[in-house]
Structure 1
Amino acid sequence: MSKPCRRLTRAGIRAQRGNKRRQEKALNATQRAMGFVPTSPAPLPNRCSPFATIAEEQAAREDAVSKQTRLLRKELPALLGQLEQIPDPRDPRKRRHKLTVLLLWGLLMFVFQFASRRETNREMTRPQFLANLQLLFPEIETLPHADTLYRLLRDIDLAQLEQAHVDLVRRLIRGKSVRRYLINHCHPIAIDGSQKLAGDTLWAEELLQRTVGKEETRHTQYFVYVLEASLAFHNGLVIPLLSEFLEHALGDTEAQKQDCEQRAFARLSDRLKTLFPRLPILLLLDGLYANGPVMQRCLRAHWQFMIVLRDKDLSTVWQELRALHALKPQVVQRGWGRRRQHFSWVNDIDYAFAANGRQRLKLNLVVCEESGEKIDEQARTVTETSRHAWLSSQPLSQDKV
């Protein structure tokens, strides 16, 4: 005998959805009465094209291109002039395209976010694309093949390419183009690692390795991992700055340990300080960097930092937070969207690290506890809670917590 179906009927599903909408409407009204304003982003418009004629569409496209052209005319001459000074590793007898044309081709490949060289050849070699590109760069006669760009990037001096990019960012900073996005008069730089690709073939000796799979399918996998530093502004704009590749040979060979993010961070921070020795910087780091050596390195470089602190890290700092907060509580409550936020913080926490605790730092810790209600699929009101904590290099107060 078969079991009765417990799935809702069509009428039951409609009734459940209607009940959920009524519950959400009542919850929104209650939250608005309490002063909570929803912060959900505006939905994408579901309407037809606003252009009524071909002339209107053409005028809008020309306006968008003209705005981009002003930026290109301002920044590209200096960038292309610097790229032209890079030694060309190609055979002079086989050169068909200028070095700057190939590098500009590579820039456009990343601007349009093509996933492969084949897609680049298919999309960027069309006659209309060449005609549009020649309006901006009349010196371009023909379009190169993506494999030509690959061979150039394989042999070119990448350090000079990176220096050209750094100089471009330096011009943006000196021109005060990002001044409105600074935090506490500092340039916010986020540093984080990311895996680029992985495979089962050791196609380069620099690749990192790990063991993956279960017992019967366990095997060695090789992967590329990069630590990246980027200017990250509060409006969502991100400008890549520096990259540091993790290499197997740069690890601790005596302890049989390969390269890691901590070692790469030391190398990347040294390069960052060398390239921008007097730039006021605020480092934004995740919980992996909540340790004494990293924070000490930041302070010695005269950098501010905000580091995520996880519950399992720096147990002595958490103990000091609870003890000092019990003696002198410092709290602020506020609403953000539909959530209630409870901030508590403690300044000048004494943190000891290294052997026998001979190294000491003064840290500032802030904890944010969030709570909010929402309606689940069964039209029930549920309360969601979360907690976040950050280590700050600057003392906290009620005005800037």
Structure 2
Amino acid sequence: MGRREDRVRRKLEKDPAMECNKVRQKYCPDLFRDFADTKDPRNPSYTDYSNRELLGTVFYKGIAGITSMQAMTDEFNKDQVVKNLYQFMGGKEKEFLPHGVTVNEYFERLDPEELQKVQQKQVYGLIRSKAFYDARFRKKWLVIVDGTQTYSGRRKLHEGCLERHYKKGTEEETVSYHCDVLEAKIVLGEKLVVSIGSEFIENNGEDAERQKNMGEEERKQDCETKAFQRLAGKIKKAFPRLPLILLADSLYASEPVMDLCRGNGWGFIIRYKSGSIPGVTEEYEKIPEKGRSGHAEFVNEIDYRGKPVNMVRYWEEAEEKGKKAGKEYQFLTDMRITEKNAEKVVKAGRKRWKIENEGFNRQKNWQGDITHACSHNAEAMKNHYLMTQISDMVKQLYEWFVLETGGIRKRQKNISSDLLKSFGEQKTEREDIRRNDTQSVPAD
């Protein structure tokens, strides 16, 4: 695309904020009503702002890619921004939007489960819309699970912080603290990966005592396996009949995870490293007649602690630093592998990387920063993280259905700044700002 055509396409998007709102109204029409319906932890006699106004303000903070609460307070303290955001939220206009301190005091008392319910209700609506059915694999939704850090530093922000000791037992021993979350994201398209559930991994005395003699990798696996059991329970409760296939890295190649998937009626494609379950590798290598298809090699019904599991190995050549190098990938799955589906199973399994690229990297580097501590309170930190997931879901839909589909090219860092700038521009009448423009939008 030439510069002239690029300029013409950019002009097609006359108002980024309006276009983003249209997408939100089409795919998440009840979002602000759901914000309003969350259980308010405050005394109603001492409230200046409603749940809808507090959560709506933080939602638009995420849409604008604003990192800190102070920056939010400053950017949203402009007459036109205040007027527009109140109109976007559908409430009576006030002189000011909520201050960052007010939001944090509210978040310290708000039960994070309230926001998880809002988040999962929006995802349920997206699934029911049928607009994203092409993203399924064998008529099942791909759900990726992985953990990430939302804070790391020498300062202990709260009692739930996890600890990492360096040079333990010596005079030079140091301690760093971190906050972790186990995240599950559902694949709705090649560039659409949204949160379907979050489980926060916190320090408690029982786990800390049991893990004190474990190595770092063993401790991480223990924490994430237990968190996965809790997260899987949440997802099953919220989406009891959702047909899904779990995608995960080698940390989850274990009997408890596979048994939980089988018990829930879920499929799984889990990245596998030979050393993680030696018995599976040994049996795989002993079988001389392996199935083959293209770059894939496979064996079905390998015994793993009395239950069958299927394994596929895949080779490819990749160029690194100007040199060609061979790469090998292995996956364990409950799906029977054939010559027809072997490479398709591998392709689906490799979508696990989307939680890093379209998920964590995006939310840490391109669209805000989930590692920035907007509060030092444990509950508030959770609520900030969950609101980021809700904002980013809508923002991804906007990027796909408006920018990508319309051929409008923007640098990732400019998408947020353009939206923020648009918040402060003069809009048309109220009915134009909030109208439910449900024009036909192509599916991914």
CA deviation after TM superposition for structure 1 residue 72, in Å: 2.7
RMSD between aligned residues? 2.6
2:312 paired with 1:366: yes
Q: How does 1:1-400 map to 2 (within 5 A)?
A: 47=3, 50-51=6-7, 60-62=13-15, 65-75=17-27, 77-134=29-86, 136-137=88-89, 139=91, 140-141=93-94, 142-212=96-166, 217-249=172-204, 251-252=206-207, 255-257=210-212, 260-324=223-287, 326=288, 328-333=289-294, 342-352=295-305, 360-372=306-318, 376=322, 382-400=323-341
CA deviation after TM superposition for structure 1 residue 280, in Å: 0.4
- Flag as ranges the 4+ runs of structure 1 deviating above 6 A: none
Q: Which runs of 5+ in 2 are unaligned?
A: 213-218, 343-444
Residue type of the alignment partner of 1:210: R
Q: Distance in 2 between matches of 1:175 and 1:49?
A: 33
CA deviation after TM superposition for structure 1 residue 111, in Å: 2.0
Does the 8 A contact of 1:296 with 1:361 survive in 2?
Answer: no
Distance 1:213-1:254 versus aligned 2 partners, 3 A rule: closer
Distance 1:50-1:389 versus aligned 2 partners, 3 A rule: closer
Q: Distance in 2 between matches of 1:176 and 1:78?
A: 18
Q: Distance in 1 between matches of 2:65 and 2:34?
A: 24
Does the 8 A contact of 1:182 with 1:188 survive in 2?
Answer: yes
- Which stretch has the larger CA shift, 198-207 or 382-391? 198-207
Q: Distance in 1 between matches of 2:321 and 2:157?
A: 51
Q: Distance in 2 between matches of 1:233 and 1:250?
A: 39
Q: TM-score, normalised by structure 2?
A: 0.68
Partner deviation per Cα, 1:334-379 (whole Å, 9 max, x = no partner): xxxxxxxx21011111112xxxxxxx11111110112256774xxx
Higher percent of residues as helix: 2
Distance 1:350-1:256 versus aligned 2 partners, 3 A rule: closer
Residue type of the alignment partner of 1:300: G
Partner deviation per Cα, 1:253-297 (whole Å, 9 max, x = no partner): 663557711111111112211221111011001000111121111
Distance 1:303-1:69 versus aligned 2 partners, 3 A rule: same
Q: Distance in 1 between matches of 2:171 and 2:209?
A: 30
CA deviation after TM superposition for structure 1 residue 176, in Å: 1.8
CA deviation after TM superposition for structure 1 residue 320, in Å: 1.7
Q: Distance in 1 between matches of 2:230 and 2:111?
A: 20
Q: Distance in 1 between matches of 2:86 and 2:240?
A: 40
Q: Distance in 1 between matches of 2:39 and 2:301?
A: 52
Higher percent of residues as strand: 1
Q: Distance in 1 between matches of 2:30 and 2:321?
A: 55
Distance 1:312-1:90 versus aligned 2 partners, 3 A rule: same
Q: Distance in 2 between matches of 1:397 and 1:191?
A: 26
Q: Distance in 1 between matches of 2:189 and 2:27?
A: 23
Q: Distance in 2 between matches of 1:61 and 1:251?
A: 56
Matched position secondary structure for 1:399 = coil
Distance 1:374-1:137 versus aligned 2 partners, 3 A rule: closer
CA deviation after TM superposition for structure 1 residue 77, in Å: 4.7
Q: TM-score, normalised by structure 1?
A: 0.75
Larger Rg: 1
Distance 1:387-1:251 versus aligned 2 partners, 3 A rule: farther
Q: Distance in 2 between matches of 1:237 and 1:191?
A: 15
Residue type of the alignment partner of 1:383: K
CA deviation after TM superposition for structure 1 residue 97, in Å: 2.3
Does the 8 A contact of 2:153 with 2:176 survive in 1?
Answer: yes
Residue type of the alignment partner of 1:291: S
Matched position secondary structure for 2:180 = strand
Partner deviation per Cα, 1:223-267 (whole Å, 9 max, x = no partner): 111111111345021111111111221744663557711111111
Partner deviation per Cα, 1:171-208 (whole Å, 9 max, x = no partner): 22122232121111111111111111123333322221
Does the 8 A contact of 1:196 with 1:226 survive in 2?
Answer: yes
Relative CO higher for 1 or 2, CA cutoff 8 Å, sep ≥ 6?
Answer: 2
Matched position secondary structure for 1:260 = helix
Matched position secondary structure for 2:120 = helix
Residue type of the alignment partner of 1:249: N
Q: Distance in 1 between matches of 2:254 and 2:90?
A: 54
Match of 2:429 in 1: none
Does the 8 A contact of 1:251 with 1:260 survive in 2?
Answer: no
Residue type of the alignment partner of 1:146: G
CA deviation after TM superposition for structure 1 residue 146, in Å: 1.6
Does the 8 A contact of 1:307 with 1:392 survive in 2?
Answer: yes
CA deviation after TM superposition for structure 1 residue 398, in Å: 1.3
